[in-house]
């Protein structure tokens, strides 16, 4: 363009200031691009669906105490009561809740024997209402029949002979055949105990949102004879908040031999489980914004100074025939050159930091297109920041040239 | 040709209004060499600034080469400055971060010449002021006289019709001042019209024509003692 | 002279108020963000029991699956013990002090019939727990050795639970019903919250301490439930609680106190010996891999400092770097703008040293101002972290006096470091250069 050569040579005589801004831009770009990448990643993670009807589902725990407490009759009575409640779509007893942070996992394998590796899977013990209450869809095979449901005693090591798996789990277990073919096949739990796949459901997440196998889940047809247990209740749309206190009160008063506690909506579970991620997103966003402002103000400050220092020079240029536009362009171009050095350096640093983060924190490598976008954004930030001082430079009167100091 | 009729210029600050020029009248002909003298604060620089389109004025008429400049916008004024006018300043106004080559290059860039043309002009301009061998030096590495020669080279590189100089020798010793004056005379000889503000009567005497400014007016117009024959005819 | 320089510094700051504000703000932001993350990291990685953290050792023995190591990557032994190993090691009593432990919970039925029953967390432990970890007592004491061995139903309460159940009275000797059994209170702890909660980091390194403490063997006696992580490489053989306790499932932790390196070596030899014995019994199918980690080693091994916290600290240091570069640039511009004044001072006889001191005072002043504002921002940042992460970080987000001093020093040092180059440049302006025009 117009005068890159002389601008560049003039810059080289004032290296330090230019280099400072370039480094500043480079580090800013490094932080911003890596932050944006992390934000996008975490946002994607947070956007994943649990499979539940999240807006209309809540859960509550019941802990029995005292000698007379009978877990089996309590569960039966509770479920009958809950399912009869107007506004309740369905209710089940369940051992753990998706995306809640705590639960059971087991390994499933396609061949029996301790020498074979299992695939990790989250275990949900539910009865035949599980499909409806969890709002999942059987996409192959069929739901459990009432006769499939057994009672699990506390600390029983045995398993029922049927299982329903998520599609993701099936695909992990049988990577080489179409997932729908898995219905009827046998998988082994506890190394050797066979379970026949009776159905496949579309989607249900594990309790641990940070787990690599978060999409792996199984439904086991059983109710639990435990003193401490949980119910999951799915309501009709809009009924949840009305029903929650009602359910709590109903369960508490129906049986005095237990404590009712830990009533929470799935939305709260989600909020808790992703709190770290959402906090990180907010913090990173704040850091990015502040950093951009700091860098931009730094550019404004230095550019203002350099304009002031060069008033005479600018006047002279004007006297020698530079139009206002030419002066404006001069400063914009100067900043463009500095930014260019900065963003090129920044591209390297960005990749470097990403590699470091990948190695240290097991993050994913960054997609390549973040780099050019980041460069473009910082170029723009520089141009916007320098525009004000450049405008002021362009406004310097040509007559400044003839003023003696 | 440069014609000023009843030019007025007022500087307004918070406290005072300064009438820097009042009804300023002057005509400078093609090929002239005018020395402007006058007490400090009388309006010499203001006149030069207006003549060089560095400053606007409030009343009167200014024709540059027969063109009325009062209605021109900044871009057009910049272009006129660039093409028709060369400036020489008391304090040289070289850009300290640029070497001599780049300094002389400054107006040529705005002219839009191609690289080869610029190079040719820069070299011949520096040649003319005798500094062609110091092209890669920085202004700070030169003496005052040399710096002013570079400034002259810069003013001449665009081959302007008018050369305006505001006390070009004000920061130079007598010897240097005279050598710069000789250079200006040569330039004038070659056809460039020169208007020069100066304090130094001995230098003013070397010009073809002298005007005296007082209180923002050309109060006295007297010819120099030994008039040159062609100036008398003009 | 210092006060003269200080006055000049103030004047100089006032001369370009916007620029000065920019520099102070840049330093404040950099310091604020760094101090926030440093605080969180410092507290996360703090030594929770500095007086004896190098004498307390976490015990690990490798009882895991012959086909798969417990941890594929690090080859670390399992991070908890089986019931069998915990009780065997306790019975051996090979360390001067030792405690196996586990987390559990149960329903408390308050003495006052009007109060509702509620659930509380339990730490099962041996009486050495209290002396090993320097637990302060408000009333009473730890239970006796006999209580441990005879599985007596005695409990120690936290202050909060004592307030809740007994209204804060000295409840020693009184009884309380929990998990359907009646217990005798032997002690009430004073406020105690090690941060991190080092003695059981795999159940929440920054959780609150458990509410009720009782002898370890009551786990078996009362069939108390497992709270916290349970991990099995093979299922229990047979039904019921006994089968679980005899299984290879890990749910128990153990700490020993070993005052000298010799004690440690002896104990490690004992563990290796124990593992050989177990091998003879058909257990411990894996190669010998037993380990003793002192408190800080254990915190390190368990990666108690969250990745996010470390990442934030790195980012905030980079942030600080940007802010300092900013300040260097602005100072450079500012001092260059003062070159006429500097030239003049040189001309009237100021030495380079004088000017250096003058400008260092000026940058120091900017640094101190930035540091003070930065500390304010750090307090704000910590409040922000609390509101973003919720209660669990309450213990992690408070400034103490050390951190305040660190913050101010960081601000001062970094601003002076930032000012060094601009100052040096300014002082090297030749007095003569000012006389030459332009
Ligand atoms: N930018 C300005 N603002 C206010 N007054 C000015 C300005 N420039 C010049 N003047 C005033 O106008 C008058 C003429 O100034 P100038 O043309 O510079 O005089 P000379 O060059 O003859 O010494 C002086 O009184 C001066 O103070
Ligand atoms: Mg003048």
**pLDDT tens digits, C31-72:** 898 888 888 888 888 888 999 999 999 999 999 988 888 887
Q: Which residues contact B8 (CB under 8 A, 6 or more apart)?
A: B19, B21, B22, B23, B24, B57, B58, B59, B60
Chains linked to A by 3 or more Cβ pairs within 8 Å: B, C
- Atom 24 (ligand 1): residue with closest C-alpha? B41
- For residue B13, report the distance from its CA to the centre of ligand 2, in Å: 18
**CB-based contact B110 A13, cutoff 8 Å:** no
Q: How many CB pairs under 8 A join B and C?
A: 11
Per-residue pLDDT tens over the stretch C261-287: 999 999 999 999 999 999 999 999 999
B49 lines ligand 1 (CB under 6 A): no
**CB-based contact B139 C436, cutoff 8 Å:** no
Compare all CA atoms of chain B with the CA of A7 and give the residue at the minimum distance. B98
10 Å Cβ neighbour count for A157? 18
pLDDT of residue B225: 46
Distance CA B224, CA A230 (A): 114
Per-residue pLDDT tens over the stretch B220-232: 655 554 443 343 3
Distance CA A176, CA A169 (A): 13
Best residue in A320, A327, A395 to probe B by mutation, most B CBs within 10 Å? A320
3-state class (DSSP) for residue C394: helix
Three-state SS letters, B170-191: CCCCHHHHHHHHHHHHHHHHCC
Q: Is the pLDDT of residue B63 over 60?
A: yes
CB contacts of B54 in chain A (<8 Å) are 318-319, 397-399, 401-402
In B28-114, alpha helices (H): 44-51, 74-84, 100-111
Q: Is the pLDDT of residue C231 over 80?
A: yes
**CB-based contact A404 B90, cutoff 8 Å:** yes
3-state class (DSSP) for residue A1: coil
pLDDT of residue C435: 44
Domain that holds residue B23: 2-223
Residue from B7, B9, B18 whose mutation best tests the ligand 1 pocket (most atoms within 8 A of CB): B18
When pLDDT is averaged across residues C126-154 and rounded to a whole number, the result is 95
Chains linked to C by 3 or more Cβ pairs within 8 Å: A, B
Q: Report chain A's terminal Cα–Cα distance, integer Å.
A: 32
B40 lines ligand 1 (CB under 6 A): yes
Compare all CA atoms of chain C with the CA of A19 and give the residue at the minimum distance. C329
Is-contact A33 A367, C-beta < 8 A?
Answer: no
Residue from B41, B50, B195, B198 whose mutation best tests the ligand 1 pocket (most atoms within 8 A of CB): B41
B17 lines ligand 1 (CB under 6 A): no
CB contacts of A357 in chain C (<8 Å) are 311
pLDDT of residue B173: 87
Q: Is the pLDDT of residue C438 over 60?
A: no
Tokens representing C63? Answer: 């009882």
Distance CA C91, CA B158 (A): 102
Q: How confident is the model at residue C347 (pLDDT cuts 50, 70, 90)?
A: low
Whether B234 maps to a domain, the answer reads: no
Is the Cβ of B91 closer than 8 Å to some Cβ of chain C?
Answer: yes
pLDDT of residue C67: 83
Residue from B7, B9, B10, B11 whose mutation best tests the ligand 1 pocket (most atoms within 8 A of CB): B11
Q: Using a pLDDT cut of 70, give the percent of chain B over it.
A: 94
Q: How confident is the model at residue C418 (pLDDT cuts 50, 70, 90)?
A: confident
CB contacts of C437 in chain B (<8 Å) are 91-92, 144, 171
CB contacts of A287 in chain C (<8 Å) are 33, 315-316, 319
pLDDT of residue C420: 87
Q: How confident is the model at residue B70 (pLDDT cuts 50, 70, 90)?
A: confident
Query: Which one of A17, A63, A279 has the shortest CB-CB distance to C332?
Result: A17
In C256-397, alpha helices (H): 261-280, 295-301, 307-337, 339-347, 352-389
Beta pairing partners, A232: A59, A92
- For residue B222, report the distance from its CA to the centre of ligand 2, in Å: 21
Residue holding tokens 């929770």? C48
Say whether the ipTM exceeds 0.95. Answer: no
Tokens representing C400? Answer: 């103490």
When pLDDT is averaged across residues A201-211 and rounded to a whole number, the result is 92
**Could you tell me the pTM of the whole model?**
0.81
Distance CA C418, CA C326 (A): 9
When pLDDT is averaged across residues C236-264 and rounded to a whole number, the result is 91
Beta pairing partners, C255: C58, C99
Whether B218 maps to a domain, the answer reads: yes
B43 lines ligand 1 (CB under 6 A): yes
Q: Report chain C's terminal Cα–Cα distance, integer Å.
A: 32
Point out the ligand 1 atom lying closest to the alpha carbon of residue B43. 17
- Atom 5 (ligand 1): residue with closest C-alpha? B11
Point out the ligand 1 atom lying closest to the alpha carbon of residue B197. 21
Please give the C-alpha separations between residue C235 and each of A158, A220, C81, C230, in angstroms, as whole numbers: 9, 17, 15, 12
Q: Is the pLDDT of residue A196 over 70?
A: yes
What are the DSSP calls for C119-174, one per residue? Answer: EEEEEEE-THHHHHTT--EEEE-PPPHHHHHHT--EEEE-HHHHHHHHTTS--TT-
When pLDDT is averaged across residues B79-91 and rounded to a whole number, the result is 89
Q: Compute the mean pLDDT over every residue in chain C, rounded to the nearest whole number.
A: 88
Domain boundaries, chain C: 2-45+306-437, 56-301
- For residue A198, report the distance from its CA to the centre of ligand 1, in Å: 99
- For residue B69, report the distance from its CA to the centre of ligand 1, in Å: 22
Helix (H) or strand (E) run with residue B198 in it: none
3-state class (DSSP) for residue B116: helix
Query: Considering Cα of C346, then C348, then C353, then C356, what sign does the dihedral take?
Result: negative
Tokens representing A65? Answer: 């105490």
pLDDT of residue C305: 83
Per-residue pLDDT tens over the stretch A77-128: 999 999 999 999 999 999 999 998 888 888 899 999 888 888 999 999 999 9
pLDDT of residue B74: 85
Question: How far apart are the CA of B91 and the nearest CA of chain C, in angstroms?
Answer: 7
CB contacts of B140 in chain C (<8 Å) are 436
10 Å Cβ neighbour count for A303? 26
Is the Cβ of B145 closer than 8 Å to some Cβ of chain C?
Answer: no
The number of angstroms, rounded, from the C-alpha of A159 to the middle of its chain's C-alpha atoms is 34
Window 379-438 of C, Cβ < 8 Å to B? 436-438
Distance CA C293, CA A8 (A): 59
Q: Is the pLDDT of residue A67 over 80?
A: no
Tokens representing C64? Answer: 């895991």
Q: Using a pLDDT cut of 70, give the percent of chain C over it.
A: 96
B148 lines ligand 1 (CB under 6 A): no
Is-contact B96 B138, C-beta < 8 A?
Answer: yes
CATH (domain of B19): 3.40.50.300
Is-contact A376 A57, C-beta < 8 A?
Answer: no
Question: How far apart are the CA of A44 and the nearest CA of chain B, in angstroms?
Answer: 51
Per-residue pLDDT tens over the stretch B112-127: 888 899 999 999 999 9
**CB-based contact C438 B171, cutoff 8 Å:** no
When pLDDT is averaged across residues B12-27 and rounded to a whole number, the result is 89
pLDDT of residue C310: 87
When pLDDT is averaged across residues A124-138 and rounded to a whole number, the result is 95
CB contacts of C438 in chain B (<8 Å) are 91-94, 96, 139
pLDDT of residue C430: 59
pLDDT of residue B226: 43
Total tally of structural domains belonging to chain B: 1
**CB-based contact B93 C437, cutoff 8 Å:** no
B11 lines ligand 1 (CB under 6 A): yes
CA angle C42, C43, C45 (to 5 degrees): 65
Q: Strands, E, within chain B: which ranges?
A: 2-12, 17-28, 33-37, 59-64, 67-68, 85-88, 162-166, 193-197, 209-214, 217-222
pLDDT of residue A154: 82
Whether B230 maps to a domain, the answer reads: no
pLDDT of residue A1: 42
Residue from B8, B9, B19, B20 whose mutation best tests the ligand 1 pocket (most atoms within 8 A of CB): B20
Per-residue pLDDT tens over the stretch A336-367: 999 999 999 999 999 999 999 999 887 889 99
When pLDDT is averaged across residues C79-87 and rounded to a whole number, the result is 95
From the CA of A315, the nearest ligand is 1
Whether B229 maps to a domain, the answer reads: no
Residue holding tokens 């439904």? A219
pLDDT of residue B31: 92
pLDDT of residue C343: 72
**CB-based contact A275 C388, cutoff 8 Å:** yes
CB contacts of A272 in chain C (<8 Å) are 390
Beta pairing partners, C57: C256, C294
Q: How confident is the model at residue A9 (pLDDT cuts 50, 70, 90)?
A: confident
When pLDDT is averaged across residues B135-141 and rounded to a whole number, the result is 90
pLDDT of residue A337: 92
Q: Is the pLDDT of residue C260 over 80?
A: yes
pLDDT of residue C271: 95
Compare all CA atoms of chain C with the CA of A284 and give the residue at the minimum distance. C312
B20 lines ligand 1 (CB under 6 A): yes
Whether B228 maps to a domain, the answer reads: no
pLDDT of residue C407: 83
Q: Which residues contact C356 (CB under 8 A, 6 or more apart)?
A: C423, C424, C427
Q: Using a pLDDT cut of 90, give the percent of chain A over it.
A: 67
Is-contact C232 A146, C-beta < 8 A?
Answer: no
Whether B233 maps to a domain, the answer reads: no
């Amino acid at each position: 363009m117009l005068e890159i050569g002389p601008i560049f040579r003039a810059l080289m005589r004032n290296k330090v200031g230019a280099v400072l801004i370039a480094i500043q831009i480079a580090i800013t770009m490094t932080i911003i691009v890596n932050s944006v990448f992390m934000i996008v990643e975490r946002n994607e993670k947070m956007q994943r669906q649990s499979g539940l009807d999240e807006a209309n589902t809540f859960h509550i725990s019941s802990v029995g105490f005292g000698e007379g407490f009978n877990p089996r009759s309590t569960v039966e009575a509770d479920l009958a009561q809950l399912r009869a409640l107007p506004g309740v779509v369905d209710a089940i007893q369940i051992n753990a809740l998706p995306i809640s942070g705590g639960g059971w996992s087991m390994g499933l394998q396609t061949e029996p024997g301790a020498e074979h590796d299992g695939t990790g899977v989250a275990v949900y013990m539910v009865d035949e209402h599980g499909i409806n209450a969890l709002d999942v869809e059987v996409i192959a095979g069929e739901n459990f029949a009432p006769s499939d449901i057994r009672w699990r005693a506390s600390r029983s090591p045995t398993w029922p002979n049927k299982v329903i798996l998520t599609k993701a789990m099936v695909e992990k277990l049988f990577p080489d055949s179409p997932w729908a073919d898995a219905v009827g096949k046998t998988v082994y739990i506890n190394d050797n105990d066979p379970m026949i796949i009776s159905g496949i459901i579309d989607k249900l997440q594990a309790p641990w949102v940070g787990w690599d196998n978060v999409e792996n889940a199984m439904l086991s047809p059983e109710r639990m004879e435990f003193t401490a247990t949980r119910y999951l209740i799915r309501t009709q749309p809009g009924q949840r908040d009305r029903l929650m206190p009602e359910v709590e009160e109903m369960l508490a008063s129906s049986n005095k031999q237990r404590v009712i506690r830990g009533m929470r909506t799935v939305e709260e579970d989600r909020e808790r489980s992703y709190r770290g991620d959402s906090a990180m997103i907010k913090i990173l966003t704040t850091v990015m914004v502040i950093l951009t402002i700091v860098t931009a103000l730094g550019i404004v400050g230095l550019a203002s100074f350099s304009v002031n220092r060069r008033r005479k020079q600018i006047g002279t240029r004007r006297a020698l025939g530079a139009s206002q536009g030419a002066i404006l362009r001069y400063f914009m171009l100067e900043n463009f050159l500095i930014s260019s050095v900065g963003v090129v350096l920044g591209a390297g640093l960005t990749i470097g930091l990403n590699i470091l983060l990948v190695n240290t924190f097991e993050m994913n490598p960054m997609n390549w297109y973040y780099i050019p976008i980041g460069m473009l954004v910082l170029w723009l930030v520089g141009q916007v920041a320098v525009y004000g001082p450049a405008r002021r430079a362009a406004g310097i009167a040509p007559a400044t040239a003839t003023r003696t100091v | 040709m440069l014609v000023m009729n009843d030019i007025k210029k007022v500087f307004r600050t918070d406290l005072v209004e300064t009438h820097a020029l009042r009804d300023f009248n002057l005509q400078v002909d093609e090929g002239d060499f005018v020395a402007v003298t006058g007490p400090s604060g009388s309006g010499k620089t203001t006149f030069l600034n207006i003549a060089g389109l560095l400053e606007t004025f409030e009343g009167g008429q200014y024709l540059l080469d027969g063109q009325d400049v009062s209605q021109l916008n900044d871009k057009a004024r910049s272009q006129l400055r660039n093409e028709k006018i060369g400036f020489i300043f008391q304090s040289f106004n070289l850009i300290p971060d640029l070497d001599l080559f780049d300094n002389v290059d400054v107006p040529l860039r705005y002219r839009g010449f191609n690289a080869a043309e610029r190079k040719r002009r820069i070299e011949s301009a520096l040649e003319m002021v005798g500094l062609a061998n110091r092209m890669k030096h920085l202004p700070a590495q030169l003496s005052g006289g040399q710096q002013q020669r570079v400034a002259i080279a810069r003013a001449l590189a665009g081959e302007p019709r008018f050369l305006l100089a505001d006390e070009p020798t004000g920061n130079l010793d007598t010897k240097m001042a005279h050598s710069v004056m000789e250079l200006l005379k040569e330039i004038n000889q070659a056809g460039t019209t020169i208007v020069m503000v100066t304090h130094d009567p001995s230098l003013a005497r070397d010009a073809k024509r002298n005007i005296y400014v007082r209180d923002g007016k050309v109060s006295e117009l007297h010819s120099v003692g030994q008039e040159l024959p062609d100036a008398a005819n003009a | 002279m210092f006060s003269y320089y200080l006055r000049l510094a103030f004047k100089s700051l006032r001369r370009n108020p916007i620029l000065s504000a920019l520099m102070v703000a840049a330093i404040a932001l950099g310091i604020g963000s760094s101090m926030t993350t440093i605080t969180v990291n410092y507290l996360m990685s703090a030594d929770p029991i500095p007086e004896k953290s190098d004498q307390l050792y976490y015990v690990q023995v490798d009882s895991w699956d012959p086909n798969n190591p417990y941890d594929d990557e690090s080859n670390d032994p399992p991070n908890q013990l089986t019931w069998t190993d915990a009780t065997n090691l306790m019975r051996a009593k090979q360390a001067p002090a030792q405690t196996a432990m586990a987390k559990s919970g149960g329903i408390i039925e308050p003495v006052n019939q009007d109060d509702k029953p509620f659930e509380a967390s339990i730490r099962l432990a041996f009486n050495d727990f209290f002396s090993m970890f320097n637990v302060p007592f408000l009333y009473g004491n730890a239970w006796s050795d006999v209580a441990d061995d005879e599985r007596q139903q005695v409990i120690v309460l936290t202050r909060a639970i004592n307030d809740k159940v007994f209204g804060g009275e000295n409840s020693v000797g009184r009884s309380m019903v929990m998990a359907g059994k009646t217990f005798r209170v032997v002690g009430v702890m004073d406020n105690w919250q090690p941060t991190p909660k080092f003695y059981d980091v795999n159940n929440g390194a920054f959780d609150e301490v458990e509410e009720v403490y009782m002898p370890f063997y009551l786990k078996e006696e009362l069939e108390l439930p497992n709270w916290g992580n349970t991990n099995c490489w093979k299922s229990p053989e047979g039904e019921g609680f006994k089968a679980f306790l005899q299984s290879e499932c890990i749910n128990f932790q153990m700490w020993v106190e070993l005052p000298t390196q010799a004690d440690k070596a002896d104990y490690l030899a004992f563990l290796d010996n124990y593992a050989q014995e177990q091998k003879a019994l058909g257990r411990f199918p894996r190669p010998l891999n037993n380990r003793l980690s002192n408190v800080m080693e254990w915190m390190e091994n368990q990666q108690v400092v969250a990745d996010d916290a470390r990442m934030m600290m790195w980012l905030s240091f980079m942030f600080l770097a940007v802010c300092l570069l900013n300040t260097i640039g602005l100072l450079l511009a500012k001092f260059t703008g003062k070159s006429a004044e500097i030239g003049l001072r040189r001309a009237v006889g100021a030495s380079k040293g004088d000017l250096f001191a003058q400008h260092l005072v000026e940058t120091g002043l900017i640094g101190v101002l930035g540091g003070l504002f930065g500390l304010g921002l750090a307090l704000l940042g910590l409040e922000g972290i609390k509101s973003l992460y919720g209660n669990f970080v309450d213990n992690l987000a408070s400034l103490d006096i050390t951190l305040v001093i660190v913050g101010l020093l960081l601000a001062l040092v970094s601003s002076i470091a930032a000012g060094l180059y601009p100052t040096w440049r300014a002082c090297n302006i030749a007095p003569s250069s000012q006389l030459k025009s332009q």
